């Protein structure tokens, strides 16, 4: 190897050496930049509420009245340590439990995680924590648990609720103990190694792969039953008929019994 080639190789190695961040920092005093702390403009909840009430838009934003919203806040077991919140957010205004509920509702209503974070004035990390905290509080709330009517008296109460909202002559809604509907939850196309028949999961109506979720509500739109009842190609009626035989659907047996009683009660789709 000639000297010029050796010199060129050595020069190239030196260039690579000096481009290494630790070496440059040591020789030229350059320090790696740390991400600066950001003070988020936390939304003023009281001011926000006053504005939405004044413009009659609170219900539009949160799918309920402010009074109901406050009842939900009181109902959910959401605890916020303000001192810890200040330490973990670099001195930002603590995240109140009202913000946790507001963020959870707007996210579940279809809002983008990032957009809701910007509205509330929180970081992406805090937004993730807000969603987790809200969902955990809802799932552990005894008052919000989905419960099917299990006695004749409870069934009669549901029936009376539908009678009250039925304005048609002759009482069209007589004997109704639930309103049933299905929803196809979109999923990624399953692999043959995961399921026996991939096409069972494809909905011809919605042109997608999914699972059928069945829900039953009373006259006040309160859910009394909910279950993943079948694959995407299963229609609502077939899915409903299968529920009593499903090991996870014991509560639905009460509805099957209702359909067979001589009282004429039924679940309407």
Question: Are residues 212 and 183 in contact, defined by beta-carbon separation less than 8 angstroms?
Answer: yes
Is residue 75 located within the same domain as residue 110? yes
In this structure, is residue 65 part of a structural domain? yes
d(CA 250, CA 247): 7
| pLDDT per residue of the chain (269 residues) written in tens, 0 to 9 | 555 555 554 444 445 444 555 555 555 555 555 566 677 788 999 999 999 999 999 999 999 999 999 999 999 988 766 565 555 555 567 788 999 999 999 999 999 999 999 999 999 999 999 999 999 999 999 998 888 887 888 888 988 898 888 877 666 677 788 888 888 999 999 999 999 999 999 998 889 999 999 888 999 888 988 888 889 998 887 887 777 544 334 444 445 544 444 455 555 55
In this structure, is residue 31 part of a structural domain? no
In this structure, is residue 25 part of a structural domain? no
Structural domains of the chain, count? 2
In this structure, is residue 1 part of a structural domain? no
d(CA 219, CA 176): 9
Last residue of a domain, one of 143, 177, 194: 143
Range of the domain at 229: 152-268
Paired strand residues for 253: none
Give tens-digit pLDDT for 178-230: 888 888 999 999 999 999 999 999 998 889 999 999 888 999 888 988 888 88
The pTM of this model reads 0.65
Is residue 156 located within the same domain as residue 264? yes
In this structure, is residue 24 part of a structural domain? no
Last residue of a domain, one of 143, 171, 193: 143
Is residue 108 located within the same domain as residue 205? no
Last residue of a domain, one of 122, 143, 164: 143
């Amino acid at each position: 190897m000639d000297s010029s080639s050796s010199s060129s190789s050595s020069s190239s190695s030196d260039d690579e050496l000096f481009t290494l961040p630790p070496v440059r920092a040591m020789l030229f005093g350059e320090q790696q930049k740390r991400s600066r702390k950001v003070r988020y403009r936390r939304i003023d909840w009281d001011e926000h509420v006053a504005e939405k009430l004044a413009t009659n838009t609170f219900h539009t934003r949160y799918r309920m009245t402010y009074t109901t919203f406050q009842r939900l806040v009181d109902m959910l077991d959401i605890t916020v340590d303000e001192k810890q919140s200040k330490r973990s957010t670099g001195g930002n205004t603590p995240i109140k439990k009202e913000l946790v509920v507001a963020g959870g509702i707007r996210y579940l209503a279809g809002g983008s995680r990032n957009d809701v974070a910007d509205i509330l004035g929180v970081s992406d990390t805090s937004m993730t924590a807000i969603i987790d905290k809200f969902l955990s509080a809802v799932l552990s709330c005894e008052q919000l648990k989905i419960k099917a009517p299990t006695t004749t008296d409870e069934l009669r109460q549901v029936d009376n609720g539908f009678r009250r909202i039925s304005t048609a002559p002759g009482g069209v809604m007589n004997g109704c103990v639930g309103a049933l509907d299905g929803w196809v939850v979109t999923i990624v196309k399953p692999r043959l190694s995961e399921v026996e028949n991939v096409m069972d999961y494809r909905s011809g109506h919605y042109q997608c792969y999914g699972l059928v979720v069945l829900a039953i509500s009373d006259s006040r739109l309160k859910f009394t039953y909910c279950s993943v009842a079948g694959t995407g190609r299963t229609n609502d009626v077939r899915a409903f008929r299968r529920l009593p035989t499903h090991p996870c659907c014991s509560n639905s047996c009460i509805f099957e019994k209702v359909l067979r009683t001589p009282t004429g009660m039924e679940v309407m789709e």
